[in-house]
Structure 1
Amino acid sequence: MKNKRIFSLLLPLAAVGGFLSLNALKNDPPVKNKAAVAGITVPAGFDLSVIADDLGSARHLVVTPQHDIYVHMASTRKSKGIVVLHEEGGKATVKTSFGDYGGTGIAIKDGYLYASSKNSVFRYKLDANNQVIDPNSPETIVHGLIDIDHHQPKALTLDNDGNIYVNIGAPSNICEEYDKKRTGCPILDSTAGIWQFKANVPNQTYSKESHYAWGLRNVVGIAWNQQDNQLFVMQHGRDALHDLFPKLYTQQQSAELPAECMFALKKGDNAGWPYVYYDWQKHKNMMGPEYGGDGVKGADPKYINPVAAYPGHYAPDGLLFYTGNQFPAKYKNGAFIAFHGSWNRAPLPQNGYCVVFQPFKNGKPDGKWEVFADGFAGTAEQKASGAAVHRPCGLAQGPDGSLYVTDDSKGTIFKITYKK
């Protein structure tokens, strides 16, 4: 998985319609509250606390009404694949763990806990208190998914009609290993997209009918938007424009392009990878240089446009639509995005490592995004070098409307609350 990304200086104004330089906001910076955790800031009126630490590579998570927290771990080196904690008195303690597989995807829906390995999706029956009844005998819902090296974790989400959506990332930057003659990427039939399965049918696998959306290099942030009943995803964009095409792109351009994109998906949509990337400076899809692009040519209009775009190489790993009532009204039905941080921003400093908020209206992005929680990386030097202390990954909403954030570097779980 693409682990660390870039913070280029752009802000979308509304959907993909326009952008502002970050410098444009310096005359009216948002008021921040220095959190209890050294160096981390949240907006005025909010508090951030650490409720668990040193768990290992904590990826996505879910929180039950009973204040149990299910955390999917990237590996089983330190624990089982799913760690269960109980939160009480401002701290979360480990109750148990289960699962002999690491991964990312995890969700609760209609009395079941769903979790994914690198090649399968399982579900566990829950009791009335949302506790797993038989952790040693999950039901296999999907199996046989591609798990070649790169981008193995399978993020997932569920809709309200009994369907589960699973990301299968491309094991590649730009399909260079599989399409040496540049005649067409042959792995698009089984990777680089979203697959839809029935949430209650065992032993499903690939089929033509289950292929939901194409041309998405890798999706880690994925969520069902209840406001407009639609699937939203955050794509990890490609790398190495300058390294592969030094005559077409400068190092600085390569550091800032392409944008990380939010897509609103319907069945049959094609976002265009590897043939297309989104240029935030030109505000349009561009033809990839591997397939005849030159940094000037636009892409075929058959590929969908993102509904919002964010700094290149920023690594969006978590997406959550906020439906709680604890936070101020402006946050209701908007999207929180956890950005993991950059690794390939040279010659510019590495940047990112934050949680941002994207306002929504009527189920669509509306207005510029803003940094919500920042400073996870540590000192300015740690951030600039990419040696971040914490890397935001998963997001979850608690029963009281609090926001939970995982860190897969130190294994920390942060909790953000609003002081009414």
Structure 2
Amino acid sequence: MKHLPFRILCGGTLLAAGTFAAVPAALAAEGCDTAGLALPDGFCATEFAADASQPRHLAVADNGVVYVNLATEVDGHALLALRDTDGDGVADTRKSFGQGGATGLTIHDGWLYAATLTDIYRYKLGESLVPEGEPEHLVSGLPQQSAHSARGLAVSDDGSLFVNIGAPSNACQAQDRSPGSKGQDPCPLLEEHGGIWRFSASDTGQKFSPDARFATGIRNMFALAWHDGQLYGAQHGRDQLHSNWPDEFTQEQSAHLPAEELFAVDEGDNFGWPFCYYDPKQKKKVLGPEYGGDGDKVGRCKNFEDPIAAYPAHWAPMAIQFSQGEGLGKGYADGAFIAFHGSWNRAPSPQAGYRVIFQPFADGKPSGDYKTFAGPKGFTGSDTIRSPGEAEHRPAGLAQAADGALYISDDAGSTIFRVTRGQAG
């Protein structure tokens, strides 16, 4: 599947820096394309940026500049700024700057917050394409780790900075990912990993400490968002139930367990990793086999927090973006978009995920079933793939602009898409 650099007016036109005007639906739909994405009827898309050096997490400033945390550096920098100056839905200006670590990027109160693997910085935003002056160094000493080192960031209304620190393990086994190896109890990794940490969003010179832990029992959750007074996150569930415990779990069970979980995160919450996982068919947390579970036993898992929504196994949630107004239509005005990177270990079933979904909300909670918004065929290029390497594109980051446009980053294809509403949606 080849994406062409479409240059079309679709959803908004730039009048001046930071000022957008809505385009009438009939005009927006005229000549509208989807840039190869599989979208609901009435939605348009452009390739906002190609050759974007494996873009991951995204953020959009009030003036329309799109910021990206890159997996591949450009000219020694890992952050990228992009701007569309003529309103055709394609970035025509770009510049790299600063330090990043592929994930962990958000904007709050005029500041751009960016994570590296071990540090967090913030950059003062202005009217220029890239922030001027040196960044402020907020946090140092985040644990160095060989697995699940990606960071997620979110900032609360009162100035708390939340940071994901994943557990460098599958299920805290004595010998990680080894058949028959028992789980460590207590799990020593939970001292400095496997949770959400809270820092000040404005104080410089902060250092990582176990004492700053906000919530625990989370395997890896760098899809974070603060919305309407609440912290939300989506977790990557554990793997290898069959390969590590073939007498207890079939390959088919392993392909469809456990669910990926969406959490509402409050201070002191414990979500049960590594002791438990969530079974979507039974709609409950059960003990992992490393801790004496057999697929049915609940045991200590009754004491841990449940998800507020659950999604198919191994889809790998990467980013959450709560909808901002009705820029994408009333049907998408209250809820969350979630980007799923796609699976690597669902054999013998085909690989799955590779999509952006929309989860409706009502009264601050998920309401009804999710619906696929983008993909998966538009990302994978095929109805069925057996290996994640076959996917031409994989969603990695999300951000919504003031004009309603939804930006989707694709690290496999080094592309950023801009999705807007046409006649319907």
Whether the TM-score (by the shorter chain) exceeds 0.5 is: yes
Matches within 5 A, 1:231-270: 231-270=231-270
Instruction: Look up the equivalent residue of 2:105 and give its one-letter code.
Output: I
Tell me which residue corresponds to 1:59: 56
Contact conserved, 2:192 with 2:210, CA < 8 A, in 1? Answer: no
Aligned to 2:327: 326
Q: For 1:200-246, what per-residue CA distance to the aligned partner results, in whole angstroms no more than 9, with x for missing partners?
A: 111212335421000110012110122xx110000000000001111
Q: How far apart are the structure 2 equivalents of 1:72 and 1:248? A: 41
Q: 1:190 aligns with which of 165, 189, 192?
A: 192
- Number of corresponding residues: 383
* Matching residue within 198, 221, 224 for 2:223: 221
> Which stretches in structure 2 are left out of the alignment for 5+ residues?
1-31, 177-181
Q: Tell me by how many angstroms 1:95 deviates.
A: 2.7
Runs of at least 5 residues in structure 1 that lack an aligned partner in the other structure: 1-33
Q: How far apart are residue 130 of structure 1 and its match?
A: 7.6
Q: 1:187 to 1:378 in 2, by over 3 A?
A: closer
- Write the distance in 1 (CA, Å) between the matches of 2:236 and 2:195: 12
Tell me if the contact between 1:349 and 1:384 (Cα under 8 Å) persists in the aligned partners.
Answer: yes
Within 1, Cα distance between the matches of 2:220 and 2:151?
9
What CA distance in whole angstroms lies between the structure 2 residues aligned with 1:381 and 1:329?
30
The reply on whether 1:293 has 2:290 as its aligned counterpart is no
1:360 is matched with 361
What residue in structure 1 maps to residue 139 of structure 2? 142
Corresponding residue of 2:117: 118
In the TM superposition, 1:88-167 aligns within 5 A as: 88=85, 89-127=88-126, 131-134=130-133, 137-167=134-164
2:77 aligned to which of 80, 103, 111:
80
TM-score, normalising length: structure 1 = 0.87
Residues 320-345 of structure 1, C-alpha deviations (whole Å, 9 max, x = no match): 10022212212113010000011101
| Gap change, CA 1:79 and 1:256, over 3 Å in 2 | farther
Deviation, 1:373, is: 0.7
Are 2:183 and 2:291, in contact at CA under 8 Å, matched by a contact in 1?
Answer: no
Partner of 2:421: 418
Post-superposition offset of 1:102: 2.9
Give the conservation status (yes or no) of the 8 Å contact 2:74–2:96: no
1:399 counterpart (398, 402, 412): 402
Aligned to 1:409: 412
Aligned to 2:206, the other structure's residue is in SS state coil
Opposite residue 76 of structure 1, the aligned amino acid is E
SS at match of 1:41: coil
Give per-residue Cα distances to partners, 1:266-293, cap 9 Å, x unaligned: 0000001000100001110011110111
Assess if the C-alpha contact under 8 Å between 2:183 and 2:290 holds in 1. Answer: no
Relative contact order higher in (CA < 8 Å, ≥ 6 apart): 1
Alignment map for 1:299-310 (pairs within 5 Å) = 299-300=299-300, 301-310=302-311
The DSSP-based 3-state class of the residue aligned with 2:399 is strand
**What is the CA distance between 1:37 and its match in structure 2?**
2.4
Deviation at 1:35, TM superposition (A): 4.8
Contact 2:83 2:129 in 1 (8 A): no
Give the equivalent residue in structure 2 for 1:212.
214
Q: Which amino acid counterpart does residue 254 of structure 1 have in structure 2?
A: S
CA contact (8 A) 2:171 2:183 kept: no
Question: CA separation in 2, counterparts of 1:411 and 1:379?
Answer: 15
Alpha-carbon displacement from aligned partner over 1:117-167 (angstroms, at most 9, x marks no partner): 001100112225685121xx2211111011211011211011100111000
CA distance change for structure 1 residues 78 and 380 in 2, over 3 Å: closer, same or farther?
Answer: farther
CA distance in 2, matches of 1:190, 1:267: 16
| Cα separation, partners in 2 of 1:224 and 1:140, compared to 1, 3 Å | same
1:340-366 Cα offsets, whole Å, 9 max, x none, are 011101011112211001000011000
In the TM superposition, residue 399 of structure 1 has moved relative to its aligned partner by 1.5
* Bigger shift: residues 265-274 or 61-70: 61-70
Quick one: distance in 1 between partners of 2:266 and 2:351? 34
List 4+ stretches of structure 1 deviating above 4 A.
128-131, 177-181
Provide the identity percentage.
Answer: 43
Comparing 57-66 and 238-247, the one that deviates more: 57-66
In structure 1, the residue corresponding to 2:161 is in which secondary structure? strand
Residues 376, 392 of structure 1: 8 Å contact kept = no
1:77 Cα offset (Å): 6.2
Report the counterpart of residue 16 of structure 1 in structure 2. none
Secondary structure of the corresponding residue to residue 77 of structure 2:
coil
CA distance in 2, matches of 1:117, 1:382: 35
CA distance in 2, matches of 1:311, 1:373: 16
- Pick the aligned partner of 2:167 from 165, 170, 173: 170
**CA spacing shift, 1:325–1:306, aligned 2, 3 Å:** same
Alpha-carbon RMSD: 1.9
Check 1:378–1:293 CA distance in 2 against 1; reply closer, same or farther (3 A cut).
closer
Which segment drifts farther, 328-337 or 185-194?
A: 328-337
C-alpha contact 2:258 2:280 (8 A) present in aligned 1: yes
